[in-house]
Chains A and B, each alone.
Chain A
């Protein structure tokens, strides 16, 4: 397993280098002098000169890139023009909020998507299957920011059951934190639930036709035991790996959810940074998300091997 992980990390290095080049290249999309644009309203020649020196703007582009990546490797992703905080520190502050939201959304998605997928596969061709598929496709088609707005209208404005916005740190008040995050988690989890349902259904359909399931039935095991113990356990292998990759998607989906529910997380940070023209923060976030995505892919491959030891034999 260690050798496998080392190989995967080595293969991922060129991808990470290319991500960093892409992120670095973003600043050259800015019209005009990137430093003047990045400096925003700051027009002090000394500050401009300092920024120009820091980003080596008078050097050729490859040298600028090497200086930038060198700083990034030491954890220096630049400083936020708005808050004057180091970008990495800002991301570190906001990430736990988004991770809590993403984890709660994952729980919602797993609780809805996997049972729905199992039932749909088991009842293949019936109205239950048809309905589950329609609901899943609707879940994939509904814009989650609109779903959030509609839920606020119904649950907060009309019924007054849950707060429409705000955030309470889990460490301060766990109950209040879960209560505040419940509606955003449902909104964020809907799309993922639909995706999980489709993956689970497809995996279950394959497994339910397998010989060992027929054997389990022939042994006289109860249908519940056959489906849950024998079929689902095996069908979950690809589902678990897909979920690992989709967790990264949740971080992206959080951008809109956090905006609607005014949650001070990673997503709100990127949107605020865009509007404050705080480009170092935008670059830092894209770089971190990209690297996290690559890491999730490696984790997904490793999980697949752990859950399906035959993969090791093939490799």
Chain B
């Protein structure tokens, strides 16, 4: 049987005088100054991370032995650390680790969580029961404890920290994708598609996935914020990025030993984590408001 697109069967359902949904979301997002500020902060840090190799800063491991724990000056605007390395340079290179950890771990959580959640919500029955119980078990352990446990058993490294955070964040996406899929499955257009013989994969690809993307996008943005804090926490504990490679969390781990003599070592990495996490939170909140179907 040939699959028929229900949208083609009933053309003109979209009100012709309304701009496309994407434009309406963008217009709403633009009117939200907090979301724009959040997006700006995220873009700034992303640009710093990407442009790190061409920015006029020393290498992250380049040590100036004549300026160990030197206070901020013209030569070292944010001071130097216990080995005479430029704090600004390490912050710039550290942005790569933090943003990479945030994005990659959420990508891992999405890649594992969304298929499982869609499968559970689409097939229901025993598959749903097994996946749901598994998700509840993972959600039962606190995020950080679970990430520490995974990182401990996998071994300390940035890659393993990202895997640990991704695995710990996965159940959030399983639950969200499952709930959204179940909601979409009750819509008339999906029932129509199924009734005219559209296959399972085509139904999921054409009707389910496009409709569950907005809430997943919001959750992903907010989870990147959580993942960045988690990576910083693991690196702070020594379970993430390993020295001498820089990361904001590991910089704080060292800085806490020199609070009295070099407080600047602790100040800047913390401010950077705070700002980038605030940026993702503001952007996520803004996206949630802009994508709220009640207002579109």
Contact = CB atoms under 8 A, between A and B. Distances in A.
A255 B144 contact: yes
- SS of A interface (majority): helix
Contact of A149 (B148, B237, B255): B255
Interface string A17-37: 011011100110111000000
Contact of A141 (B141, B151, B281): B281
Interface in B126-168: 133-134, 136-138, 140-146, 148-155
A18 B131 CA distance: 11
A256 B236 contact: yes
A248 B142 CA distance: 7
B263 interface: yes
Contacts of B282: 137
A273 B277 CA distance: 29
B225 interface: yes
Interface string A40-63: 000000000000000000000000
A26 B149 contact: yes
B255 A285 contact: no
Interface string A131-151: 000000110111101110110
B145 A274 contact: no
Given A18-B134, A270-B145, A270-B148, A275 B256 contact: no
Given A18-B137, A255-B144, A256-B237, A279 B259 contact: no
A90 interface: no
B149 A15 contact: no
A293 B140 contact: yes
B278 interface: yes
- Please classify how large the interface on chain B is, using the bins under 10, 10 to 19, 20 to 34, 35 or more: 35 or more
B100 interface: no
A252 B233 CA distance: 12
Given A31-B155, A137-B285, A152 B141 contact: no
B238 interface: yes
A86 interface: no
A64 interface: no
Interface in B207-259: 225, 229, 232-233, 236-239, 252, 255-256, 259
A271 B237 CA distance: 8
B141 A274 contact: no
Contact of B239 (A26, A274, A294): A274
A275 B238 contact: yes
Interface stretch (B46-54, B186-194, B266-274): B266-274
Interface string A196-227: 00000000000000000000000000000000
Nearest to B136: A15
Contact of B266 (A153, A273, A282): A153
A145 B252 CA distance: 9
Given A150-B266, A150-B270, A19 B141 contact: yes
Contacts of B154: 29
A79 interface: no
A259 interface: yes
Contacts of A252: 142-145
B260 interface: yes
Contact of A290 (B137, B144, B150): B137
A309 interface: no
Counting chain A CB atoms within 10 Å of each CB, the highest count among B136, B255, B278 belongs to B136
A89 interface: no
Contacts of A152: 256, 259
Nearest to B263: A153
Contacts of B144: 252-253, 255-256
B168 to A, nearest CB: 11
A286 B137 CA distance: 11
A289 interface: yes
B80 to A, nearest CB: 18
Nearest to B229: A143
B257 to A, nearest CB: 10
A150 B270 CA distance: 9
A147 B134 CA distance: 35
B141 A146 contact: no
A286 B140 CA distance: 10
Counting chain B CB atoms within 10 Å of each CB, the highest count among A142, A146, A273 belongs to A146
Interface of A: 14-16, 18-19, 21-23, 26-27, 29-31, 137-138, 140-143, 145-147, 149-150, 152-153, 157, 248-249, 251-253, 255-256, 259-260, 270-271, 273-275, 279, 282-283, 285-286, 289-291, 293-294, 297
Given A15-B136, A150-B266, 19 more contacts: A16-B137, A18-B134, A19-B141, A26-B149, A30-B153, A137-B281, A140-B281, A141-B225, A141-B274, A142-B270, A142-B277, A143-B270, A145-B233, A150-B267, A157-B259, A249-B142, A255-B237, A274-B237, A275-B238
Interface of B: 133-134, 136-138, 140-146, 148-155, 225, 229, 232-233, 236-239, 252, 255-256, 259-260, 263, 266-267, 269-270, 273-274, 277-278, 281-282, 285
16 contacts: A18-B136, A22-B137, A29-B150, A141-B281, A143-B233, A143-B274, A150-B270, A157-B263, A252-B144, A271-B148, A274-B237, A274-B239, A289-B142, A290-B137, A293-B140, A297-B140
Shortest beta-carbon contacts, A-B, top 3: A252-B142, A146-B270, A18-B137
